[in-house]
Each structure stands twice: as C-alpha cells, then as structure tokens.
Amino acid sequence: MKNRSLVSINDFSKEEILKIVELAAKFEENPNQDLLKNKVVASLFFEPSTRTRLSFETAINRLGGRVVGFTDASSSSTTKGETLKDTIKMISNYADLIVMRHPLEGSARYASEQSGVPIVNAGDGANQHPTQTMLDLYSIQKTQGTLENLNIFMVGDLKYGRTVHSLLQAMAHFNPVFNFISPEELRIPDEYKYWLDSKGIQYYEHSEFTDIISRADILYMTRVQRERFADPIEYEKVKNVYILKNSMLENTKDNLRILHPLPRVNEISTDVDANPKAYYFEQAENGVYARMAIMSSILGVV
C-alpha cells in the first residue's frame, strides 16, 4: 500500500486490512516511534471534526512527524473561492501525505486523482470514513482475538450510517453473520443486501431490539437522529426503542463487546458505561494506533 491513497475501505484487500490490524497492535505496545521524523503531514479539515483531527494529529506526533494545515474551511483559502483541485495541487507540493476531511461526497477520490502525494480520507460527507472502519476492525480483533466467524449486531440508523456500511463491507472478508436492528425508516439499504447476497453472507433484519442480542459477539450501536425522519411523529415513536440499557445485557455472551463510533446522545444509557462489555471509550483510543499503522504503511516506513 506504499504511496497509495486510502479513500474507501474497499481500497484495502483482506491481507492489507490484516496487516494494518497487526501493525496497530505493535504501535499500541510501543506508541512512541520516530518513523515519521522529517515528514510533513498536511491535515486539511474543510469542516470541523475535533475528535477525528485530534486522533490523527496525536498519531502523527507520536510518530515524530510534523503537521501543517487548517481546522475548518473558514481559515482556509476555500472561503476565497479556491477550488479543491487548486488547494490540493498546491499543498501536495508541500507535504508528504494529506489527511483530508471534506463535507462533499467523492471529494477524497477526486483529491487523490489531483494530488502528487497520497490522500488519507478522514471523512467525505456521508460517503466513506475508512480510518474509522480500521479502528473498528482493530477493536473487534483486539476484543475477540479474531475477525473470523463473528456474529455482528448493528443497531440504530442503518440507512444513513456510513460507519455501518463501511464496517459491513470490510467484515464481509471474514465470514460474519449480520443482524440488523433498526426502525422501518432506517433499514439497511437494498443495495447492501444485494451485495451481501452476492457474497453468500447471512444476515437477518429485525425491527425490535430485544433479547436476540444474547447471540451477539459485537453490538455496534449508532445514533438515530431526528433529522432523518420526514415525519416527526415517527421519530417520537422510535426514539426510545433503540436505546441500550444495562439490564438488557444480562443474558449476553461473556465475549460480547459494545462498540459505538461516538459521540453518543442517548442511545446507550450511562448505566452501561461501567459494564465490562462497554468498549466504546477504548475503541476511540484504538483510533490513534490504527491511524499510526495506516499512515506509516502508506509512507512506506514500516
């Protein structure tokens, strides 16, 4: 993957995913390494995302690299009407790698075609966020000891949730069983179901969030947002149905871990936080190691 951009999780093969996961574990053991000494990484956030930006910048700093860039579009030349193409052409002459977050979908793919240096997509609108997926995969590997043959439950907004779609595509390499739990309005789109069918992967859809989770190895929670509903009454009906409470975890498997891309609103009650099966805060920390693994692989220093 040396010198290649990471725009979509599909840009990585199964072997490459496993290599990143393995490397992330090594960085977790020994996080301070000077592998990016004398490297400059441009961190271009055309829309603010403090959580993702700090994770990337921590990863770069731990690797001894230097960061240039901006934290939102108002402090960049885009407010003066500069095109994305021009911004990328200019910055790719300065930096060794570009980390980019942009509100428009497809912007990262386009930037990778214009840039002389690799692009790491830190989120392009509702499209892809592959480093989030890599940290999800690393979290699953770390807590389950494997990525193979797991029963993955995804809960909440399965229609618009990009983390759900990317994780589903990446996990498809590892013979999973999926269970999708969502309100009718936010069901997993048909295109993903056709795709799973074509891969021969088992999945089940449910509209009720009940004790079926007793079979889960991973419970991947997402936010159900009010603005996704055309009819506010529909939102009121479902908003409290897809909330995980500690009492629901009683009969679940010992190895079950609860993941959430964060930030959460109310979809996981705070009484779950103390349960050893809650993993979402550690999951966020894993993002730093996953990003260290991705950037050092692309820069060819490992």
Q: Which residues bind another protein (CB under 8 A)?
A: 8, 83-85, 102-107, 109-110, 124-128, 191, 194
User: What are the distances in angstroms from CA 22 to CA 175, 229, 230?
Assistant: 19, 40, 43
Known catalytic residue: 131?
no
Least distance (Å) from another protein to the CB of residue 144? 29
User: What are the distances in angstroms from CA 146 to CA 22, 35, 39, 260?
Assistant: 11, 28, 33, 19
Joined tokens for residue 158: 């399965």
Least distance (Å) from another protein to the CB of residue 109? 5
H-run or E-run covering 159: none
| Amino acid letter, residue 263 | P
Using the minimum distance from each CB to another protein, give the nearer residue, 11 or 28. 11
Known catalytic residue: 51?
yes
Joined tokens for residue 6: 């990471």
3-state secondary structure of 101: strand
Which residue is catalytic, options 39, 52, 78, 133?
52
Edge-to-edge strand ranges of the sheet holding 119-124: 66-70, 40-45, 97-102, 119-124
Using the minimum distance from each CB to another protein, give the nearer residue, 105 or 273. 105
- Residue 100: name the closest of 90, 88, 89 by CA: 88
3-state secondary structure of 66: strand
Known catalytic residue: 291?
no
Which residue is catalytic, options 101, 162, 257, 291?
101
Using the minimum distance from each CB to another protein, give the nearer residue, 83 or 266. 83
Backbone angles phi, psi at 122, to 5 degrees: -100, 25
Going by the DSSP 8-state scheme, the letter that residue 177 receives in this structure is E
Using the minimum distance from each CB to another protein, give the nearer residue, 191 or 254. 191
Which residue is catalytic, options 2, 14, 37, 51?
51
Using the minimum distance from each CB to another protein, give the nearer residue, 84 or 147. 84
Least distance (Å) from another protein to the CB of residue 184? 21
Least distance (Å) from another protein to the CB of residue 124? 8
Least distance (Å) from another protein to the CB of residue 125? 5
Known catalytic residue: 101?
yes
Joined tokens for residue 4: 């290649």
Least distance (Å) from another protein to the CB of residue 95? 21
Cβ atoms of residues 203 and 145 within 8 Å: no
Which residue is catalytic, options 102, 129, 165, 223?
129
Rg (CA), the chain: 19
Q: Which residues contact 14 (CB under 8 A, 6 or more apart)?
A: 173, 174
Using the minimum distance from each CB to another protein, give the nearer residue, 70 or 110. 110
Cβ atoms of residues 175 and 148 within 8 Å: yes
Q: Which residues are catalytic?
A: 51-52, 80, 101, 129
